[in-house]
Amino acid sequence: MASDLETLLEMGFDKAKAELAVKKSGGLQGALEWLETHQDKSYEEIVATSAEAANSEDDPHAEPEALKPGEEAHSLVCNECGKKFRSQAQAEFHASKTQHVDFAESTEEIAPLTEEEKKARLEELRQKLAEKRAGMSDQDKIDKKRNEEIRRKSTKETQDIKEDLKKKEQLKEAAAKRKEKQDEIDAKARIKAKIAADKEERRLRAEKEKAEREGRAAPVAAQPMPAPTKAGPVESKPASAYTEARLRLQTSAGNLQKTFPVTTTLFEIAAAVTQDTGTEVQSFTQNFPKKVFDAVDFGATLKELGLVPSASLIVK
């Protein structure tokens, strides 16, 4: 069975440093830990440091001695943390990462890493990278979930706005159609009245001419009916003469008696009922004559819907 020293030599460690590691640690595991701790120091540095002070061999902040005349620098050392570098590029990279600025030249020539050391360093880097990726993955999940919540909330608000605009547009279109229909009815009524008046005027003119030819008195034009007296029956006012409408609203919370201007829309009536009862109104139903007023009719006024001077509506 190979000794600890032979095992260290087979792994590629320097013989002098391996002997010192076995001597100071007394075992293979301890020797490996000692070599890892002193991997950046040469054998001469370790011996010199041990001779000066027994407890100073692990001090990474010890400043290197200045170069003597004729000595050539083989590496760079950071006086702030004690790390050594083979090239100026490595020292500059270290400075950019740590913000260290105090560097000095060293005569120690840093040996290249062995295959085992390279594998160990590579495995350490892989583990750190895996941990970093795992942390980023967890953060990405949190960010993705938060972004999805924001997107859903934004989508719902956008849909609500679109539905509200669509509803208002439908009410506006329905009101425009009703107005167009009413204007057409009024125009036809005016034409009929004009035709009837022209016909009556021609009839009276023809009778007058006939009476003049026959030498008799011309017929008298029909007089408008006299206004009723106090003793006689009083005619009811037409719906167009009223300025207010009395409504009896049957809701699930009870009956409401309210008076509104005839220009009030069903949309405003529904809002008033919602404010009083706390329930949203979908439609109004009139039993006699049987009619159902839904969202399409909400833009119409009480006068346009024939709910003047009074009406009884079931709220749903």
Tens-place pLDDT, residues 94-119: 787 788 888 888 777 766 657 787 67
pLDDT score recorded for residue 219 = 66
**Sheet architecture: strand order including 75-78:** 84-85, 75-78, 103-106
Higher pLDDT, 304 or 72: 304
Nearest CA-CA partner of 307 in 275, 277, 265:
265
pLDDT of amino acid 218:
66
- Per the CB < 8 A criterion, the answer to whether 11 and 18 are in contact is no
pLDDT digit string, tens, across residues 215-245: 777 666 555 555 444 444 445 677 778 899 9
249 has which bridge partners?
A: 256, 313
pLDDT at residue 269, rounded to an integer: 92
Q: State pLDDT tens for residues 2-39.
A: 677 787 777 777 888 888 888 877 677 777 777 777 77
What letter would DSSP give residue 27? S
Arithmetic mean of pLDDT over the chain: 79
Residue 265 has pLDDT above 90, yes or no: yes
pTM listed for this prediction? 0.29
- Are the C-beta atoms of 149 and 143 separated by less than 8 Å? no
Cβ(305)–Cβ(266) under 8 Å? yes
Q: How would you classify the pairing of strands 103-106 and 284-286?
A: unpaired
Nearest to residue 316, comparing CAs of 271, 280, 272, 267?
A: 280
pLDDT reading at 276 higher than 70? yes
35-60: burial string, b at 16+ Cβ within 10 Å, e else: beebebbbeebbeebeeeeeeebeee
**pLDDT higher than threshold 60 for residue 123:** yes
Residue 268 contacts residue 249 (beta carbons within 8 Å): no
C-alpha span between 102 and 58 (Å, rounded): 20
| pLDDT attached to residue 314 | 93
Q: Is the dihedral of CA 231, 237, 243, 247 positive or negative?
A: positive
Residues 6+ apart with CB under 8 A from 257: 246, 247, 248, 249
pLDDT tens, residue by residue, 76-93 = 888 888 887 767 777 787
Selected residue with higher pLDDT from 133 and 293? 293
Amino acid at 94: H
Question: Counting beta carbons within 10 angstroms of the beta carbon of residue 117, is it exposed (0 to 12), middle (13 to 18) or buried (19 or more)?
Answer: middle
> What's the pLDDT band for 60 if we cut at 50, 70, 90?
very low
On the question of pLDDT at 259 being above 90, the answer is yes
